[in-house]
Amino acid sequence: MAVIEAVGRHSTGLTQSEVVLATGCSANLVFRVLSTLVTLGYMQRLDEDRRYVLTSKLIESCQPRRMDKSLVLCAYAEMLRLRDQTRETVQLVIRAGNKAMVLEQVSGLEAVQVMGRIGMQVPLYSCAPGKAILASLTDTDLKHWLSTIELKAFTDSTKSTKSALLTDLQSVRQKGYAEDWEEGIEGIRCVAAAILDPYNNALGAITVMSPAKRLPQKRFVEIGPMCAVAARQIQRELLL
């Protein structure tokens, strides 16, 4: 786990000697661990500079499932459909503790796109998919969650007070989708809807992200219901 965490902290990966320095483990032990992880598919060794990087296998292993069905596989067709409808990047996001984590992504069709990366994590309250997931919590669970976290502003639009966030989440519940008005990153807007299980627990959320100029208020009203329809279809696929 020390080796995995050391390599995971560096997006460009680490060499074997750098892993030794980062972990304090012996060179022989690091070599055996890295070789095993490569063999099992959890890590990849780059040919050009002999650096080791994590693959997506860890994320795939922990993704939510309904019975034996993969959330990614059940969502992918709807992600493509939503991408084609909006021409914007579509992401599948799940909750990872107090963060929203990108599980899968389909790039948009416009010349200039907003893109994240698989495994990227951001605070739940600062993005549309995170707020869609939070809005699905019961009032008791939401109150408990708020007691465990410190809200802070990332932009002028971040809902960084409990009252502002709760008001926004109530609006999400009423509309059936969440909006992100450049609340995490200036210049990026998102709209998202939660994917629920039969007990109304959020398995994740599907979100459309776009440069702010291509997502004015009137498009939120158009794309929000599209996200909600996609989320419901994914729910049906999981239950089939």
pLDDT at 62 over 70: no
Give me the half-sphere count of Cα atoms (radius 13 Å) on the Cβ side of residue 202. 29
Interval 140-174: pLDDT, tens: 999 999 998 999 999 999 999 999 999 999 999 99
Distance CA 146, CA 131 (A): 13
Distance CA 164, CA 62 (A): 32
The model carries a pTM of 0.76
**Which domains are delineated in the chain?**
2-55 (1.10.10.10), 62-239 (3.30.450.40)
Interval 170-217: pLDDT, tens: 999 999 999 999 999 999 999 999 999 888 889 999 999 999 999 999
The Cβ of residue 134 has, within 10 Å, a number of other Cβ atoms equal to 25
Average pLDDT of 10-30? 90
Interval 67-86: pLDDT, tens: 567 888 899 999 999 999 99
- 41: Cα separation from own chain's centroid: 22
Over its C-alpha atoms, the chain yields an Rg (Å, rounded) of 19
Distance CA 66, CA 154 (A): 34
Distance CA 206, CA 175 (A): 15
